[in-house]
């Protein structure tokens, strides 16, 4: 039996059937467990002022990947998708009064575009490894620097428990003591619901980055620059930091 498109649409309307997209890890959540974890978190956060509560998370950024759709008068030819990626470490406090400068992780330790550039003036710290991942060594350096930044304060830092994040027990074994920071690791498979950076902060950052990236391309076309789509990681720094 064949059904018309109109019949199918009316059937979906009658029964409330809609199209939904699956997102990330949300299908792995145990909502009862999430509720219990939130109660534990609230007990801890009540001891801190909003300005003293921070959340850090990493995100991948395809830094020169263009949109795959556009307005045009005819069908555009497709191109091979460039999926070169960097990792960005984003951290801010609850009342948005302090944003920790970005840490960016790439694949190459000394990109050619950095030649003659004072990296201290870029507004972000740079690390590199073969796969552009957050490693335990990079995390250790980041967390020690964060603790130094909080000199004279007592702050709470919420983190997920990804493999690159060293457990506190290992820091204890290394005789590393955080004098200004209480680190709280979120439970597995719950960060998509309880981690603030996953509640729109990272998405908003990427939207600002894409806006600046597209404006850079438009300026290049207006100024007749050869191949304005070809940007380097230094350009990515200059787009990401203000974003």
Q: What is the CATH number of the domain that holds 198?
A: 3.30.420.10
- Residue 11, in any domain of the structure: no
State CA 221 to chain mean position distance.
29
Q: Is residue 73 part of a domain?
A: no
Q: Is 71 within a domain?
A: no
Q: Is residue 42 part of a domain?
A: no
- Whether 36 maps to a domain, the answer reads no
pLDDT band at 12 (very low <50, low <70, confident <90, very high): confident
- Whole domain around residue 137: which residue ranges? 50-65+81-240
Indicate the pLDDT class of residue 26, thresholds 50, 70 and 90. Answer: very low
Q: What residues contact 198, with CB distance under 8 A and at least 6 apart?
A: 57, 191, 192
Rounded to two decimals, the pTM is 0.80
Domain tally, the chain:
1
The pLDDT, as a whole number, for residue 102 is 97
The answer to whether residue 169 sits within a structural domain is yes
| 13 within a domain of the structure (yes/no) | no
**Residue 147 within a domain:** yes
- Reported as a single tens digit per residue, the pLDDT across 218-232 is 999 899 888 888 889
| Digit-coded pLDDT (tens) for 103-146 | 999 999 999 999 999 999 999 999 999 999 999 999 999 999 99
Residues 57-70, mean pLDDT to the nearest whole number: 82
């Amino acid at each position: 039996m064949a059904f018309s498109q109109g019949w199918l649409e009316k059937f979906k309307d009658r029964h409330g059937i809609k199209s939904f997209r699956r997102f990330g890890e949300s299908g792995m959540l145990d909502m009862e467990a999430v509720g219990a974890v939130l109660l534990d978190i609230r007990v801890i956060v009540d001891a801190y002022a909003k300005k003293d509560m921070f959340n850090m998370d990493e995100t991948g950024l395809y830094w020169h990947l263009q949109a795959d759709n556009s307005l045009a008068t005819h069908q555009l030819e497709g191109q091979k998708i460039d999926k070169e990626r960097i990792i960005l470490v984003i951290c801010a406090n609850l009342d948005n009064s302090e944003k920790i400068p970005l840490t960016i992780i790439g694949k190459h330790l000394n990109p050619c575009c950095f030649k003659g550039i004072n990296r201290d003036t870029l507004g972000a710290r740079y690390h590199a490894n073969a796969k552009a991942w957050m490693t335990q060594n990079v995390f250790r350096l980041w967390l020690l620097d964060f603790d130094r930044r909080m000199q004279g304060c007592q702050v709470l830092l919420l983190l997920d428990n990804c493999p690159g994040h060293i457990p506190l027990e290992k820091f204890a074994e290394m005789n590393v003591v955080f004098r200004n920071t209480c680190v709280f690791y979120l439970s597995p498979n719950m960060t998509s619901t309880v981690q603030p950076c996953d509640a729109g902060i990272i998405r908003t950052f990427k939207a600002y980055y894409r806006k600046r990236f597209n404006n850079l391309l438009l300026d290049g076309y207006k100024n007749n620059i050869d191949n304005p789509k070809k940007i380097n990681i230094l350009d990515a720094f200059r787009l990401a930091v203000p974003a």
